[in-house]
Amino acid sequence: MEIQGEDDYFVKNTPPKNIEEVEKKTKEFLNFQIEKDRRVVLVTSGGTTVPLENQTVRFVDNFSAGTRGSASVEYFIEQGYAVIFLYRQHSLRPYSRHYSHSKNCFLDMLDIDNDNIIVNNKYNSFMKIILEKYKKAKAENLLLEIDFFTVKDYFFYLNKITKILSTIEEKAMYYLAAAVSDFFIPPERMVEHKIQSRAGGLNLSLDQVPKFLKPLVSEWAPKGLIVSFKLETDPDLLISKARQALDRYGHQIVIGNMLLTRKRVVHFITKDAERKIEMSDEELKNGMEIETKIISELKIKHDNWIEQSKN
């Protein structure tokens, strides 16, 4: 498999059409937050798709629904952060996630009263709490949402946003929870039209995507607090792979999680320490989410990161 260099990737691939608009919005959002003296976090979320055709009918995808990313945004805002949310189109979004989940259809929360639509009493107080938080985040301009679909667009946006955000140096945090594809079809090998089935079975050959964590840490945002995630399915690999990522990229925190237990347990791996964060049955039963603990812990780490930079 051929591995392209990072710079090469941005030359050989075409940027998304609205990249300049995203750049403008990000700069305006950041300038507003600088005026307010707020910290800003970039949260990436959801899976990335790898198209098989230019006029895309089929693509390779992964499991991520964006639960981790969208939930984390709400807790970051509670901790006083402004958030840039880079999320996979149609994956979960902060606040609306409480109503859009497949198990929680918002239509079931509504009733018809003569000519009016009203909220069913059973859901009223819950809906009000979420709606108030959402309105506050909007009114105070605490959330900028940017969506992507393909892994290519994700990397173009990541590059652009990260470089803009790096101007606030240590006050920025990068929370990379998206499940990013490691493989793609380079533009020169991509067919234009729908792959036909009459030829029988389909053999795919994918190239490796460069690990963009490397330039992100060393060049794009060298002063920010960078938190990456490591997902594994084999428990014997998790901690060693997380530590390997930390050594390889030289950033500050890797959060390790297992596919099947990711809502209950995560491992914080830093240069000198390792800490397990876990939810009890009681906490889960009460509707508490592990992201509340993750973000509280990260806020403290970010305080220390900013403090250290002053010395």
Contact with ligand PMT (CB under 6 A): which of 68, 97, 152, 267? Answer: 68
If one asks whether residue 176 binds ligand PMT (CB under 6 A), the answer comes out as yes
Residue 146 in 3-state DSSP? strand
Size of site (CB under 6 A) for ligand PMT: 21
Part in contact with ligand PMT (CB under 6 A); list of ranges 3-11, 131-139, 172-180, 301-309: 172-180
Q: Distance between CA 54 and CA 194 in Å, rounded?
A: 8
Please say whether the beta carbons of 58 and 52 come within 8 A: yes
Contact with ligand PMT (CB under 6 A): which of 97, 98, 230, 267? Answer: 230
225: Cβ contacts below 8 Å, ≥ 6 apart: 170, 172, 173, 174, 252, 253, 298, 301, 302, 305
CA angle 18, 26, 219 (to 5 degrees): 95
If one asks whether residue 87 binds ligand PMT (CB under 6 A), the answer comes out as no
Residue 164 in 3-state DSSP? helix
Could you give the string, one character per residue 15-54, with x where binding to ligand PMT holds by CB under 6 A and - elsewhere?
----------------------------------------
Which C-beta is closer to ligand PMT: that of 170 or that of 207?
Answer: 207
Q: What is the total residue count of the chain?
A: 311
Q: Distance between CA 50 and CA 280 in Å, rounded?
A: 37
Nearest distance, CB of residue 37 and ligand PMT, angstroms: 29
Which C-beta is closer to ligand PMT: that of 123 or that of 175?
Answer: 175
If one asks whether residue 67 binds ligand PMT (CB under 6 A), the answer comes out as yes
* Residues making contact with ligand PMT (CB under 6 A): 64-68, 176-180, 182, 209, 211-213, 228-231, 257, 262
